[in-house]
Each structure stands twice: as C-alpha cells, then as structure tokens.
Amino acid sequence: MTGTEAVNVYKRGISRSDEVLAKVDLNAPPRWWPPAGEFNAPTMSDGRDVVFRVFVETSVHAGHLGRAGYC
C-alpha cells in the first residue's frame, strides 16, 4: 500500500466515523462493556469517554509510526 492509498483509507474511516458520531447520543453510557477480568481499563461512563479513548489510542499509535519513520 502506498502512502497515498493509506491516507485515502484513513479518510474513508474518518467519513464513516463522522456518520456514526452524528447519530450517537454521546451522553449515553456504552451499550456493552466486557467483564472486568477481560479488559484491563476503567469503565467508560458515556460516549464522550469512548471517543476520547479513541483519540488517545490513535495519537499514541500515530506517534509510533512517526518514530518508525512511516509518517
């Protein structure tokens, strides 16, 4: 995959995320959460917590790519 193709895939993901977020109640709690022993993370109280976690994870992993010379 070329860099341009990767960026285009990412842009399609952004568009899809925008569609989903436009329909979601960010004040509502997550519909499901794994049992405590299966996922070692604090429970997220609402959709905003979930979106914030996605931002954090994305930025962390984007940083890894940058350090590896891919960005």
Q: What is the pLDDT, as a whole number, of residue 65?
A: 57
How far CA 69 is from CA of 22, 45, 54, in Å, comes to 34, 36, 23
Q: What is the pLDDT, as a whole number, of residue 68?
A: 57
The answer to whether the CB of 21 falls within 8 A of the CB of 51 is yes
pTM of the model: 0.63
The answer to whether the CB of 29 falls within 8 A of the CB of 45 is yes
Q: What is the pLDDT, as a whole number, of residue 25?
A: 95
Q: What is the pLDDT, as a whole number, of residue 66?
A: 60
The answer to whether the CB of 32 falls within 8 A of the CB of 50 is no
Q: Hey, where are the domains in the chain?
A: 3-68
Each residue's pLDDT tens digit, 11-54: 999 999 999 999 999 999 988 888 878 877 778 899 999 999 88
